[in-house]
Amino acid sequence: MTTYFSEEHSVEAVNGRMAPDTDPRLKQVMASLVKHLHAFAKDVELTQAEWDYAIEFLTDTGHLCSEDRQEFILLSDTLGFSMLVDSINNRRPEGATENTVFGPFHIDDVPVRQMGDVISMDGKGEPCLYIGNVQDLEGNPIEGAVIDVWSDNADGFYDVQEPDTQPRGNNRGLFTTGADGAYHFIGVKPPPYPIPFDGTVGKMLAALGRPYYRPGHMHFMVIADGYEKIVTHSFVAGDPHLERDAVFGVKEQLILDFEKVDDDEVEWRSEFDIVMVPTP
81 or 157: CB nearest Fe ion: 157
195 or 222: CB nearest ligand BEZ: 195
| Binding string, residues 97-116; x marks residues near Fe ion by CB under 5 A | ------x-------------
| Binding string, residues 160-199; x marks residues near ligand BEZ by CB under 6 A | -----------------------------------x----
Q: Is 105 in the site for ligand BEZ (CB under 6 A)?
A: yes
Q: Is 215 in the site for ligand BEZ (CB under 6 A)?
A: no
CA distance 74 to 25: 26
Q: How many residues bind ligand BEZ (CB under 6 A)?
A: 9
72 binds, among ligand BEZ, Fe ion, none (CB under 5 to 8 A by kind): none
Which whole-number Å values give the CA distances from 172 to 54, 217, 275, in the listed order?
38, 13, 21
CA distance 226 to 78: 33
Of 77, 136, 148, 159, which one interacts with ligand BEZ (CB under 6 A)?
77
Of 10, 74, 99, 266, which one interacts with ligand BEZ (CB under 6 A)?
74
Which whole-number Å values give the CA distances from 1 to 4, 12, 13, 16, 149, in the listed order?
10, 11, 11, 10, 58
CB contact set of 120 (below 8 Å; sequence gap of 6+) = 127, 153, 170, 171, 186, 187, 188
Q: Is 218 in the site for ligand BEZ (CB under 6 A)?
A: no
CA distance 191 to 151: 9
104 or 156: CB nearest ligand BEZ: 104
- Residues composing the chain: 280
Min dist CB 172 to ligand BEZ, Å, is 12
Min dist CB 252 to ligand BEZ, Å, is 18
Residues found near ligand BEZ in the complex (CB under 6 A): 74, 77, 101, 103-105, 195, 214, 247
